[in-house]
């Protein structure tokens, strides 16, 4: 299973790249990440004088015995990045003449999970359609990585898309800020999606959105009259593509451009990937672009 989704040659190249989560930790995410916030881990940082409101148990009594002054120890917290990969497995993700959007997304998610584990970051996964179906909390343990690959392997196209509802449900489960990687075709109500994603930004989460589309959806190349079947609500519609192509392209690209610009305004990272583009080349190019944000 691991070899199926993780090409060794590609992973060797990925090991030299990092995802830069600007709002979660400072600097590149290599190994453990030193947080700028003071915490209660085991790494000693410095002493400071006791202040009203500090917990008495934090007073260093040995220092008091030597100096007759109250000092407390401060510790510098070393934290891993906490990342969630959100994988859309709604019915529309099952579309694809050669490689379905879901299958493409599986390879992408497995590669991202590997990269995060390689950096010793904690990563979990959420699979969803019109609601959350499975969730594995973030962990940097190898067993967790294998469980994530298992969930990716078993993900199958499900029900209708309800992304804003899923994000609202997920927001109630996430207590600590982190990195959210959303992998979906994003074929849902634009305003509702943007509003839900912005709510995470307000809580200081870093968000990466990978919109996965089939070239047919992007270009609408169909020529002959045909019955079009909705993979989610199972409805059917007879269409003459030649009469609709121009209008379809205009409206669909307007939707894409509007979505991208709204996310840009909210400082949400966005990348459009077509399944006709090799996922390893697409991801490698994207990570190189992010590495230049230094």
Is residue 89 located within the same domain as residue 147?
Answer: yes
Is residue 138 located within the same domain as residue 265?
Answer: yes
Is residue 138 located within the same domain as residue 190?
Answer: yes
Is residue 247 located within the same domain as residue 119?
Answer: yes
Split at pLDDT 50, 70, 90, the class of 271 is very high
Tell me if 76 sits within 8 A of 35, measured CB to CB: yes
* Domain assignment of residue 72, given as a range: 33-79
The 10s digit of each residue's pLDDT in 103-157 is 999 989 988 888 888 778 899 999 999 999 999 999 988 889 888 988 998 899 9
Is residue 111 located within the same domain as residue 150?
Answer: yes
* Mean pLDDT computed over every residue of the chain: 80
Is residue 10 located within the same domain as residue 123?
Answer: yes
- Domain closes at, from 79, 100, 116: 79
Is residue 100 located within the same domain as residue 173?
Answer: yes
What's this model's pTM, rounded to 2 decimal places? 0.76
Is residue 162 located within the same domain as residue 122?
Answer: yes
Is residue 52 located within the same domain as residue 112?
Answer: no
Is residue 75 located within the same domain as residue 180?
Answer: no
The 10s digit of each residue's pLDDT in 162-213 is 899 999 999 988 888 889 999 999 999 999 999 999 999 888 898 999 999 9
Is residue 145 located within the same domain as residue 283?
Answer: yes
The 10s digit of each residue's pLDDT in 9-41 is 666 655 544 443 333 233 333 333 343 333 333
Is residue 66 located within the same domain as residue 172?
Answer: no
As for how many domains the chain has, the answer is: 2
Name the residue with tokens 């004088």: 49
């Amino acid at each position: 299973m691991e070899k199926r989704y993780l090409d060794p040659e590609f992973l060797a190249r990925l090991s030299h790249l990092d995802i830069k989560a600007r709002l979660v930790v400072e600097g590149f995410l290599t190994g453990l990440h030193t947080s700028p916030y003071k915490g209660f881990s085991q790494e000693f940082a410095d002493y400071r004088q006791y202040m009203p409101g500090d917990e008495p148990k934090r007073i260093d009594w040995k220092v008091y015995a030597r100096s007759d002054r109250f000092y407390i120890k401060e510790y510098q917290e070393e934290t891993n990045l906490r990342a969630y990969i959100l994988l859309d497995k709604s019915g529309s993700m099952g579309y694809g003449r050669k490689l379905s959007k879901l299958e493409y997304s599986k390879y992408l998610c497995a590669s991202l999970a590997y990269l995060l584990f390689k950096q010793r970051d904690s990563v979990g996964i959420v699979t969803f359609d019109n609601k959350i179906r499975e969730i594995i909390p973030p962990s940097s343990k190898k067993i967790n990585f294998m469980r994530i690959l298992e969930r990716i392997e078993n993900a199958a196209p499900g029900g209708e898309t309800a992304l804003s509802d899923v994000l609202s449900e997920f927001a109630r489960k996430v207590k600590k800020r982190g990195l959210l990687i959303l992998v979906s075709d994003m074929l849902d109500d634009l305003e509702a999606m943007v509003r839900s994603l912005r709510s995470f930004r307000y809580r200081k989460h870093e968000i990466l959105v990978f919109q996965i589309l089939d070239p047919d959806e992007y270009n609408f190349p169909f020529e002959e009259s045909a019955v079009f079947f909705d993979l989610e609500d199972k409805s059917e519609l007879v269409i003459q593509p030649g009469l609709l192509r121009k209008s379809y392209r205009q409206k669909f690209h307007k939707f894409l451009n509007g979505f991208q610009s709204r996310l840009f305004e909210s400082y949400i990272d966005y990348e459009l990937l077509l399944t006709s583009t090799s996922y390893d080349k697409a991801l490698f190019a994207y990570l190189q672009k992010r590495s230049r944000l230094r």
